[in-house]
Structure 1
Amino acid sequence: MKKILLVGMLLPLMTQAQWNVNLYGGFSNYFGDLQERPLTTQQAGGSFGAGLQYDLTGHFSVLSNLTYGRISAADGYATKADLRARNLNFETVIGEWNLLAEYNLLDPRQHKVTPYVFAGIAVYHFNPYSYDSTGRKVYLRPLSTEGEGLAQYPNQKPYALTQFAIPFGGGIKFRISDRVTLAYEIGLRKLFTDYLDDVSGRYVNEDTLLAARGPEAVQMAYRGNQIKGGAGYPPDGTVRGNPKHKDWYYMSGLRVTIALNSLRIADFRRRRGVLDCPKKVY
């Protein structure tokens, strides 16, 4: 009896559920110590992704996506003179897998346009790098630019390159046909690291860094002396970044959703016509 009741409760969901493929393309950017504006396309990079979506009802869906994005930032674009004098920059590629729950404010099977929101969990990988004075690509984490992993700075632990994030955001969907939906969305990622850009706290002693990691580490830790009129390497403990605020990254663009199985909007409407109670006849 309990099994029959359970099937009876799940049957309405099963008859409305369907699988979809999501294809995404847009831009990615970040907010941190090298980017003054929280949301901007300045210095933005490209992003794209693909995934599967399972519609539980017309309002609720579960999604899983693999997403690739590139972000970068440089002090040369800063409005503040002291940041431009620091002359730091970085780039990184971000690979992300996420699992999301999505809610449509309107049922897209009955409305051509609907706003939606989403949230979930994500695992992402990053590896910040820059280019030295000769144009050679240099990864920053092994250089311990803020003393990470050095015995002289026991509180500075090396940061992990693969971490968890909390993605959330929203957008608006446009139903193109029974099978295809086009959406524009923006998704933010709440991070638990301040080292997405390899900048967080304070400069370490130049001689200590030189002895432990070599001249390349000193060159990448402070680049103000590489510009005209730039100052020398700052004293130990001088502020380099702001550790009170973690970094963020975000992605925004177009998403195309293509239905896979046989349940279409026309089928949904036909089923409603069959299953709905008949109109009262007088």
Structure 2
Amino acid sequence: MKKTTFILFLVWVLAPIILEAQFYNRNTYRTQRNEVSFGLGASSCLTDVGGGKDIKESLFGDYARGFLWDINADQTKYVANFSYKYYLKSKIGLKINMVYSKVSGNDESTTDKHRRARNLNFETTIIEGSAVFEWTIIPEKSGSRYNLKNKFGKSIGAKNPLGFGLYAFGGIGGFYYNPFGYNNFGSAKTKFELRPLRTEGQGLKAPNDAFYANDVERGINYQDYAFPKSNAGDGTYGKFAICTPVGFGIKKSFHGTAGIMLEAGFRFTNTDYLDDVSTRYFSPSALDLWNTNSALISGVNQSLDENGTFVGYLRIGDTPPDFPELGIIEYNQITNPELLAAYGSGYSEVIFWQNSQGQIRGNPKNLDSYMFVTLSAYKKLKNTQKSFKIANSGFKRRIKASF
């Protein structure tokens, strides 16, 4: 009985939609094949810099570094877009997009103590061009343009009074980017173009150098991410990359040819240098030879020995220190008589590594991405008189014979 009631309920709900579809002329789109839109909105990104809450604080646990929960809301920027769409079929369109945007990230915005200790930041302009296929899942409906009613006072417009449409899209594109960053390690907040500084030593050593040895523990062979040795200006990452736009949107038509749409789009990319951060800290002395600002802006600790570590002497006490937060590799209580005489009992020899040469600066296995949320106005352009004839060329009227 319950099953029969449920089936009857579905039929009652879906019947108006199915019946209405019977009277929909599938060739009508041919009279309005062209559509243009312009919109503004908010932009953000997922990169190695900044991020959301500490993994331990996040409701998503280990997934906190994986997707949208790693976004810094306070780093939200703006986006402006223009698009042209050509309807190939009634529910399939080819859309060309042009986008101008800014995205940014800042380690000061995250509660993750490791990233805050790194203290990096970036901002870049994005100029994107893309071509996507758009699939209309639910067509938007405007009803009667003049809100007409029949003699009984009932609306003769669309059966769905809200008339919202739903669509999804996916495609391919390319974009320009060129990250800048502010010096967070000095008294003056000077802005620098990051790419020419080669902050991770891109192209300063050959890929077969020992610095790019395989990191078995992390499962990263850094030779795969090394740049060919080059002293030329283009020896580092490029300013252009490929993106894959995907997303969905909601449309509302105010009459047959115009309306608004709210769209959320995500861009996967083939670069990990949107933020100028990807692999490991490089040799500060080698960076200084390339550019006097490179080591400073990269954030590498310059108070280190040749092994990338430095030694200090601290009174540890009964409570061990927070190793990751302080950047401590290990510590051992002093037993050397000369050191005991100099420092006294209770002191330990502590080996630090934080932000030092060869240590983690980013993760090259996770490529960068960015996203937009836009509110746009769109306009469908009516075709010529000839197109109206073409639109109805496949429509045959059936006439009942009478005698």
Q: Structure 1 length as normaliser, TM-score? A: 0.82
- Whole-Å Cα distance in 2 between the matches of residues 36 and 12 of structure 1? 48
1:26–1:48 Cα contact (<8 Å) kept: yes
Task: Give the residue type in structure 2 aligned to 1:144.
Answer: R
Q: Which residue of 2 aligns with 1:22?
A: 37
Match of 1:143 among 194, 197, 211: 197
Bigger mean CA deviation after superposition, 175-184 or 147-156: 147-156
2:29–2:90 Cα contact (<8 Å) kept: no
1:222–1:233 Cα contact (<8 Å) kept: no
Please report how far the alpha carbon of residue 234 of structure 1 lies from its aligned counterpart in structure 2 after TM superposition.
3.2
Report the 3-state secondary structure (helix = DSSP H, G, I; strand = E; otherwise coil) of the residue aligned with 1:135.
coil
Alignment CA distance shift 1:279-1:116 (3 Å): farther
Report the 3-state secondary structure (helix = DSSP H, G, I; strand = E; otherwise coil) of the residue aligned with 2:361.
coil
Bigger mean CA deviation after superposition, 147-156 or 157-166: 147-156
1:203–1:234 Cα contact (<8 Å) kept: yes
Match of 2:180 among 112, 118, 129: 129
Match of 1:240 among 343, 361, 365: 361
Report the 3-state secondary structure (helix = DSSP H, G, I; strand = E; otherwise coil) of the residue aligned with 1:15.
helix
Q: Does 1:117 align with 2:150?
A: no
Q: Which residue of 2 aligns with 1:257?
A: 378
Q: Which residue of 1 aligns with 2:342?
A: none
- Whole-Å Cα distance in 2 between the matches of residues 224 and 89 of structure 1? 16
CA RMSD in angstroms comes to 3.1
Alignment CA distance shift 1:95-1:169 (3 Å): same
Structure 2 unmatched runs, 5+: 1-25, 53-66, 142-157, 209-222, 228-235, 303-325, 328-351
Please report how far the alpha carbon of residue 126 of structure 1 lies from its aligned counterpart in structure 2 after TM superposition.
0.3
Match of 2:125 among 93, 100, 113: 93
1:29–1:250 Cα contact (<8 Å) kept: yes
Report the 3-state secondary structure (helix = DSSP H, G, I; strand = E; otherwise coil) of the residue aligned with 1:176.
strand
Q: Does 1:217 align with 2:294?
A: yes
- Whole-Å Cα distance in 2 between the matches of residues 53 and 178 of structure 1? 16
Q: Work out the number of aligned pairs and report it.
A: 262
Match of 1:74 among 84, 101, 106: 106
Bigger mean CA deviation after superposition, 114-123 or 132-141: 132-141
Please report how far the alpha carbon of residue 53 of structure 1 lies from its aligned counterpart in structure 2 after TM superposition.
1.1
Specify the structure having the higher radius of gyration (Cα).
2
Task: Give the residue type in structure 1 aligned to 2:170.
Answer: A
Please report how far the alpha carbon of residue 12 of structure 1 lies from its aligned counterpart in structure 2 after TM superposition.
4.6
Task: Give the residue type in structure 1 aligned to 2:244.
Answer: I
Q: Does 1:176 align with 2:254?
A: yes
2:266–2:369 Cα contact (<8 Å) kept: yes
Residues 130-170 of structure 1: per-residue CA shift (max 9 Å, x gap): 12343332110111111111135564222111011111100
Report the 3-state secondary structure (helix = DSSP H, G, I; strand = E; otherwise coil) of the residue aligned with 1:198.
coil
Alignment CA distance shift 1:33-1:281 (3 Å): farther
- Whole-Å Cα distance in 2 between the matches of residues 197 and 261 of structure 1? 44
Q: Which residue of 2 aligns with 1:163?
A: 241
Q: Which residue of 2 aligns with 1:201?
A: 279
2:138–2:165 Cα contact (<8 Å) kept: yes
- Whole-Å Cα distance in 1 between the matches of residues 192 and 112 of structure 2? 26
Alignment CA distance shift 1:13-1:20 (3 Å): same
Alignment CA distance shift 1:251-1:281 (3 Å): farther
Bigger mean CA deviation after superposition, 125-134 or 106-115: 106-115
1:184–1:254 Cα contact (<8 Å) kept: yes
Q: Structure 2 length as normaliser, TM-score? A: 0.59
Please report how far the alpha carbon of residue 108 of structure 1 lies from its aligned counterpart in structure 2 after TM superposition.
2.8
Please report how far the alpha carbon of residue 115 of structure 1 lies from its aligned counterpart in structure 2 after TM superposition.
1.1
Please report how far the alpha carbon of residue 14 of structure 1 lies from its aligned counterpart in structure 2 after TM superposition.
7.8
Structure 1 unmatched runs, 5+: 1-10
Task: Give the residue type in structure 1 aligned to 2:298.
Answer: A
Please report how far the alpha carbon of residue 176 of structure 1 lies from its aligned counterpart in structure 2 after TM superposition.
1.6
Residues 93-122 of structure 1: per-residue CA shift (max 9 Å, x gap): 000001111001123357721111001111
Report the 3-state secondary structure (helix = DSSP H, G, I; strand = E; otherwise coil) of the residue aligned with 1:105.
strand
2:31–2:382 Cα contact (<8 Å) kept: no
Please report how far the alpha carbon of residue 15 of structure 1 lies from its aligned counterpart in structure 2 after TM superposition.
3.0
- Whole-Å Cα distance in 1 between the matches of residues 138 and 250 of structure 2? 10
Task: Give the residue type in structure 1 aligned to 2:44.
Answer: N
1:87–1:223 Cα contact (<8 Å) kept: no
Q: Which residue of 1 aligns with 2:270?
A: 192
Alignment CA distance shift 1:135-1:193 (3 Å): same
Q: Which has the higher strand share?
A: 1
Bigger mean CA deviation after superposition, 147-156 or 81-90: 147-156
